Amino acid sequence: MVTDSVALILCAAFVCCLTSMVSRDWENSISCTFKNRDLILAYPMQPTAEAYRLRGRQATLKMDTLSNWYDSVKNYVEIVRQDHPTQPTLGIAIGFEFDEQNGEYPYTPSYAVLQLKDFGWGGVEFSKRDTLNYTGISNDVSDDLQIEIEDYRNDTIFGHFSGLLLSGAGPMGSIENGRFAVKVYRVQR
């Protein structure tokens, strides 16, 4: 009887630990499928020796704030994630209109933009002048991108996305099964 109880407790503890590890991996990341390739982009931008240098621990905190922020005055969120903290090969930037006072979810932003960056191609990082990477937009004129905010709690925004991304060089690619759960920092820009 005691052995069965101990085994049951150990199994429950294992399941609890496994569940918490899975949810920790999912937090603060963006996942999607682009051109039949599954991507998990879990790292915010980090300072490197080659890039501009900020001093001490403030460098990481400033880059993290740049990677996921919410301006409640302009009602705008921007999230940047990449596949490696300092030497990324792929990155994604998502920006969208968001009003935390909306209170009703799911919520579809009236304006959204997404850019997928292949750092191997070079070019200006996440810039409008970057024509070698893929971009999608949703606004009054274009509806390439569908973003839906599922929830917002404890400064963490949850959502999903899909769409058709266009490259300035000509090719197109669909982005599917996109999901994000990212804690955002409040800023005023």
């049951």: which residue's tokens?
Answer: 8
Average pLDDT, the chain: 78
pLDDT, tens digit, 9 for 90 and up, residues 42-87: 998 776 655 555 555 444 455 555 788 999 999 999 999 999 888 8
Q: Where are the beta strands (DSSP E) in 5-111?
A: 29-34, 37-41, 68-71, 76-82, 90-97
Look at residue 1 in the predicted model and tell me its pLDDT: 52
Flag whether pLDDT at 101 surpasses 70.
yes
> What Rg, from alpha-carbon coordinates, does the chain have?
19
DSSP code of residue 20: H
Between CA 138 and CA 94 the distance in angstroms is: 11
Chain center to CA of 152: 14
**What pLDDT sits at residue 129?**
61
Name the more confident of 93 and 101: 93
d(CA 157, CA 70): 10
User: Coil, helix or strand for 64?
Assistant: helix
Whats the size of the chain, residue-wise?
A: 189
The pLDDT confidence band at residue 7, using thresholds 50, 70 and 90, is very low
What is the model's pTM?
0.75
Choose between 8 and 82: higher pLDDT. Answer: 82
Q: Does 24 have pLDDT greater than 50?
A: no
36 dihedral zone (left: phi>0; alpha: psi -120 to 50; beta):
left
Q: What is the C-alpha to C-alpha distance for residues 58 and 56, in angstroms, rounded to an integer?
A: 5
